[in-house]
């Protein structure tokens, strides 16, 4: 997927559509392509990479949040429409993951302090850290396995608890 961190009032319709095309239309096209063979087999697993931004709003990510919210609902609708064929469609909702894409947000400042966004995320995450790509492996294996055969239309948030946390009480 992609994200364009642009204030909504500055984003062009073409930039908005590009995010929707990649983050929402792409999974739709892939699912549409694989569902017929899954119906023939009498089983299948689709795992969409949603995001905790399918649940939250934040400045500069309107297109991304709209796409991921749409993907959450596409996931639920695929589960609803094709569950009778033993097809499970679920999502993984990563929180903030340490990847090359997020590296600029985690860079140390010239004075050695944390980047302000890095400090914000660590403070808002009960795990007090960014996730790693490895943190997503177990949930993906679970959703791809027979252990999840009765799990359908669910988004498994892998976010270190950020969606459950209101933050520390001021001292």
pLDDT digits 0-9 by tens, 89-100: 999 999 999 999
User: What average pLDDT does the segment 20-41 reach?
Assistant: 98
The whole-number pLDDT of residue 171 equals: 75
The whole-number pLDDT of residue 90 equals: 98
Alpha-carbon distances, residue 75 vs 52, 92, 123, 164, 168 (angstroms)? 14, 10, 30, 22, 33
Establish how many alpha carbons lie within 13 A of residue 142's alpha carbon, considering only the half-sphere containing its beta carbon. 15
pLDDT digits 0-9 by tens, 108-160: 999 999 999 999 999 999 999 999 999 999 999 999 999 999 999 999 999 99
β-pair type (44-49, 155-158): unpaired
User: What average pLDDT does the segment 22-41 reach?
Assistant: 98
Percentage of residues in the chain having pLDDT higher than 70: 100
Residue 69 reports pLDDT greater than 80? yes
Mean pLDDT of the chain: 96
Q: How far, in Å, CA of 97 to CA of 110, rounded?
A: 23
User: Residue 162 in contact with residue 124, Cβ under 8 Å?
Assistant: yes
Map out the domains of the chain as residue ranges.
8-164
The whole-number pLDDT of residue 57 equals: 87
SS3 55: coil
Determine what percent of the chain falls in helix, strand and coil, rounding each to the nearest 5.
Answer: 55, 10, 35
Cα 93-96-99 angle, rounded to 5 deg:
110
User: What average pLDDT does the segment 25-35 reach?
Assistant: 98
Write down the architecture of domain 8-164 according to CATH.
3-Layer(aba) Sandwich (3.40)
Residue 167 reports pLDDT greater than 90? no
Residue 4 reports pLDDT greater than 80? yes
The whole-number pLDDT of residue 162 equals: 95
Q: How far, in Å, CA of 22 to CA of 67, rounded?
A: 9
Query: Given pLDDT bands bounded at 50, 70 and 90, which one contains residue 170?
Result: confident
Measured in degrees and rounded to the nearest 5, phi and psi for residue 140 equal -65, -45
Torsion of CA 140, 45, 66, 55, to 10 degrees: -50
* Active site members: 64
């Amino acid at each position: 997927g992609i994200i364009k961190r642009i204030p909504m009032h500055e984003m062009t319709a073409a930039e908005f559509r590009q995010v929707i095309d990649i983050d929402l239309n792409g999974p739709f096209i892939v699912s549409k392509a694989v569902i017929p063979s899954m119906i023939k087999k009498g089983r299948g697993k689709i795992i969409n990479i949603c995001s905790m931004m399918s649940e939250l709003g934040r400045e500069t990510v309107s297109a991304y949040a709209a796409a991921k919210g749409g993907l959450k609902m596409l996931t639920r609708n695929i589960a609803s429409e094709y569950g009778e064929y033993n097809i499970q469609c679920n999502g993984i909702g990563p929180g903030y993951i340490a990847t090359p894409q997020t590296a600029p947000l985690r860079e140390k400042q010239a004075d050695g302090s944390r980047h302000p966004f890095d400090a914000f995320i660590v403070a808002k995450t009960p795990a007090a850290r960014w996730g790693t790509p490895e943190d997503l492996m177990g949930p993906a294996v679970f959703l791809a396995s027979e252990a999840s055969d009765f799990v359908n239309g669910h988004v498994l948030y892998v976010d270190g608890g950020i969606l459950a946390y209101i933050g520390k009480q001021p001292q």
